[in-house]
Amino acid sequence: MASNSDSLTISVQELVEKDFFTLAGLEKLSDAEKDALLENILNTIRNRVVIRIIESFPESERLHLDSVLQGEDEEQISTLLTNKHIDVDRLVAEESLTFKSQLLRSLAEIKPSHA
């Protein structure tokens, strides 16, 4: 059975710089379809970042974290994350690239090969 590894090879630069829809071969989707897919992607990334933040806190501090997050006070949240040396921008970038890569691999596995 032929391997799809050649179609899965995307440079880090391409992954960072190129539009997801172009890399995925989904340019022909309507704007509404793209918006809906992008909303789902962003929600997934947001959830993954929140999980990583929660997991970075010791169990004994998670109630406090939950309380701060539920309060939705941006300044208090920012102060807490800064005090814990949590770089949210870095987490978002990491999760975005990881999820983009995973989606592209999944799409490449289900799309017919155009060899």
Residue 85 lies in a domain: yes
* pLDDT score, position 104: 87
- Between CA 7 and CA 106 the distance in angstroms is 11
* pLDDT score, position 3: 39
Cβ atoms 48, 99 nearer than 8 A: yes
Residue 115 lies in a domain: no
Residue 103 lies in a domain: yes
Residue 90 lies in a domain: yes
**Along the 115 residues of the chain, how does pLDDT read in single tens digits?**
333 444 446 676 777 767 888 888 888 999 999 999 999 999 999 999 999 999 999 999 999 999 998 988 899 999 999 999 999 999 999 999 999 989 888 888 886 654 4
Residue 70 lies in a domain: yes
46: nearest Cα among 88, 76, 78, 102: 88
Please count the structural domains in the chain.
1
- Between CA 13 and CA 50 the distance in angstroms is 26
The range of the structural domain enclosing residue 72 comes to: 5-110
- Between CA 89 and CA 93 the distance in angstroms is 6
29: nearest Cα among 38, 17, 16: 38
Cβ atoms 113, 2 nearer than 8 A: yes
Cβ atoms 95, 49 nearer than 8 A: yes
- Between CA 20 and CA 95 the distance in angstroms is 14
